[in-house]
Structure 1
Amino acid sequence: MTADDNPRILLLGAGHANLLAARGLRAALPGAAITLIDAADQATYSGMVPGHVAGHYHAADIRVDLQDFAARHAIAFLRARIVGVDPATRQVALQDGPTLPYDLAALDVGSHSAMPDIPGFASHAIPIKPLDGFAARLRQTDPASPALIIGGGVAGAEIALALHHRGARQVTVLEAGPVIAPALGPRARRHLSVALDRAAIRIVTHAQIAAVEGSAVILRDGRRIASALTVGIAGARAHAWMALTLPVDGAGFVRVTPTLQVEGWPTLFAAGDCAAMMHAPRPKAGVFAVRQAPVLAANLIASSAGRPLRRHDPQEDYLKLISLGGRCALAEWRGLTLRGMWLWRLKDRIDRRFMASLGHGARSVPPGGTVP
């Protein structure tokens, strides 16, 4: 791209990387027309969702008002659902809206957790992502009602423990594989299993789901498990529209180069869950999006000026802090496993710091308090 003092920059999606990158763009590019586009008017911080479900945070405290965010950073905000990007013509298609041109764009639309292949899921279950849909369903459900989690990874275990702490009388986790939380090491997995056992959370491994109904989930072996709140948390899924015009990996996520540019399209960048770093594959975790943000911002600025771009090489490992329902957490880092209330306080401080970086102050609910 040739140098342009007034480029049209579209931030496609209010993911962690785009929000953090937006902070420095206006100062570096005072003449640029910068627009943030997202389907929701608020961005929910995923790291604090288990704490909100458990009752430790108010809903408003884990969300960023995007109109306010945009105003504070002197950029525009457009609430619209993105349904396509054509990098050849530099056009973004919006549902029920106009097609928008761009000079530079950064795609950070995250992933989703819907499971359309399971009969009844769309009608009777709720995917954990998008987070705003899950939060709305949670508010409509009696806290004491039986709940069921489809997916026994770390996120599924966290939400199960949070629902138990919230007051659910019966919580079940269904895992298609042989063990829960396979991404953890054996010691951390044992600690997590102990926490689940103490909460009397039922774990069903090798689970094969036949259908989801309004008040139960039916397994293929005929078992019927009661559930008033069925939540899908079985891994990240790519938005189908991305594969129509963009290069994607085997799972449908957008392939990016070490500079976070979409392969073959230097004016389009991608970060966060929707991107696949082909030179350094990593799990879908918010920490990687946060680390991508400064490189994304620097490269958008460099691209607008025709300067060389920075390379992003993500870390090999990261600190995993797992909420255990109450104000206690489990940590795994470089083979070391720890558990305690002090780790929850550490996680709380890290999460508050992230929200503060976006200009939003999160307030914990006092122990024994209630969440509206």
Structure 2
Amino acid sequence: MPGGDAPRILLLGAGHANLLAVPLLRAGLPRARITLVDAGSHAIYSGMFPGHVAGHYAPADLSVDLAAVAVRHGIAFLQARVAGLDPAAREVRLSEDRRLAYDLAVLDLGSQAAMPEIAGFERHAVPVKPLDGALARLARLPPGAPAAIIGGGVAGVELALALAHRRAGAVTLIEAGPTLVASLGPRAQALLRRALDRAGVRVRVRVQVAEVTDRQVILQDGARIDSAFTMGVAGARAQGWWARDLPVDGAGFVRVTPSLQVEGYPMLFAAGDCAAMMHAPRPKAGVFAVRQAPVLARNVIALHRGRAPERHDPQRHALKIVSLGGRTALAEWRGMTLHGPWLWRWKDRIDRRFIAGLRGG
């Protein structure tokens, strides 16, 4: 029984799974010394970020005050960046050269979207994740300035349409592959392409970005795209230290067992985007993190009490709802495609209810 009656539990990262697990852990382990660690003072809800970009939400609408969450549930909050982990010694290294010991810990650090292979990206572009950095850069976007989005997946299309709705000036969507939103079916792809055309978003596919400057995106073929605001949205990427300290998959994400325990380290769990469910690979999407939360909490409690953890088998299909800039949206579910303003209103109600739940409202 690690930690006796008051185990030291570290929740490393304020992702969906960890935040939703907090009240469950507090109820199940009322004497546990639980500490939430995150680099930011607020958690930003990614589901509402395109709506903020489009002008539908204020920054406060999509943020959760982590100190307030900690007070509400009787846990500690430490604002610090996790820089490493020694799972054998059960010790976490923070960026300030501070170390924390734990009996049980959960990694829910999300993913990042930096593109260091592109010259000038670090200095002149902004990765969509972490979201707090993207929010700060977006706030400084001059009215009417041209913008470019690198990455033509669902998130890239959403953000391009949101920027166009905001009337930020010319918006260009850049995709290295042969088509946009390859994860969606043909009908949904066609509807999104029509939405982009109506919004005036310029689309470039089958092109590679060579460099980003403060005024342009330069393609490998020499073409130059004017952009005062360039955002990288080309998929989820792992943080570098995971591969150094933990077992990872081919993309650098932390390998977990069916019980969400890190392979080889039963007192360490991982969830959300940072985790690679080797028994059931899934896309990096918030819906899977939300479903992990109750299993995660039950398994942390079970390990403390000396019981076997349960298996988590995620759902095979997830509803995909894509905002189309204005107060309208498109959804795809098992090959069926729907669209219209009512979908945006439905998504808005779901998102507001979700973030109210995170705040304890």
The TM-score, its normalising length taken from structure 2, stands at: 0.99
The offset of 1:143, in angstroms, is: 3.4
**Does structure 1 residue 91 correspond to structure 2 residue 121?**
no
The offset of 1:122, in angstroms, is: 0.5
CA separation in 2, counterparts of 1:105 and 1:295? 14
Q: 1:64-103 alignment to 2 at 5 Å?
A: 64-103=64-103
Check conservation: 1:218, 1:224, Cα contact below 8 A: yes
Check conservation: 2:2, 2:103, Cα contact below 8 A: no
CA separation in 2, counterparts of 1:255 and 1:27? 28
CA separation in 2, counterparts of 1:342 and 1:23? 33
CA separation in 1, counterparts of 2:84 and 2:30? 28
Give the aligned residue type for 1:62.
L
Give the aligned residue type for 1:139.
A
Matching residue of 1:54: 54
Matching residue of 2:225: 225
The offset of 1:51, in angstroms, is: 0.4
CA separation in 2, counterparts of 1:324 and 1:149? 15
Secondary structure of the structure 2 residue equivalent to 1:145: coil
Matching residue of 2:140: 140
Secondary structure of the structure 1 residue equivalent to 2:321: strand
Percent identity (aligned)? 66
The offset of 1:194, in angstroms, is: 0.7
Check conservation: 1:4, 1:305, Cα contact below 8 A: no
Unaligned runs of 5+ in 1: 362-372
Q: 1:243-254 alignment to 2 at 5 Å?
A: 243-254=243-254
**Does structure 1 residue 348 correspond to structure 2 residue 348?**
yes
Matching residue of 1:152: 152
Give the aligned residue type for 2:7.
P
Matching residue of 1:173: 173
Give the aligned residue type for 2:236.
A
Matching residue of 2:122: 122
Give the aligned residue type for 2:178.
P
Check conservation: 2:327, 2:341, Cα contact below 8 A: yes
Check conservation: 2:256, 2:269, Cα contact below 8 A: yes
CA separation in 2, counterparts of 1:175 and 1:192? 14
CA separation in 2, counterparts of 1:255 and 1:18? 17
**Does structure 1 residue 207 correspond to structure 2 residue 207?**
yes
CA separation in 2, counterparts of 1:164 and 1:23? 39
Matching residue of 2:337: 337
The TM-score, its normalising length taken from structure 1, stands at: 0.96
Check conservation: 1:3, 1:305, Cα contact below 8 A: no
Listed one character per residue, the Cα deviations across residues 33-56 of structure 1 (whole Å, up to 9, x for unaligned) are 100000000000000000011011
TM superposition outliers: structure 1 runs of 4+ over 3 Å: none
Matching residue of 1:183: 183
Matching residue of 1:4: 4
Matching residue of 1:294: 294
The offset of 1:97, in angstroms, is: 3.7
Listed one character per residue, the Cα deviations across residues 243-272 of structure 1 (whole Å, up to 9, x for unaligned) are 111000000000000100000100000000
Unaligned runs of 5+ in 2: none
CA separation in 2, counterparts of 1:308 and 1:187? 45
Q: CA RMSD in A?
A: 1.0
Listed one character per residue, the Cα deviations across residues 98-123 of structure 1 (whole Å, up to 9, x for unaligned) are 11000000000000000011000001
The offset of 1:167, in angstroms, is: 1.1
The offset of 1:2, in angstroms, is: 5.1
Give the aligned residue type for 1:333.
W
Number of corresponding residues: 361
The offset of 1:24, in angstroms, is: 1.4
Matching residue of 2:112: 112
Matching residue of 1:281: 281
CA separation in 2, counterparts of 1:290 and 1:97? 32
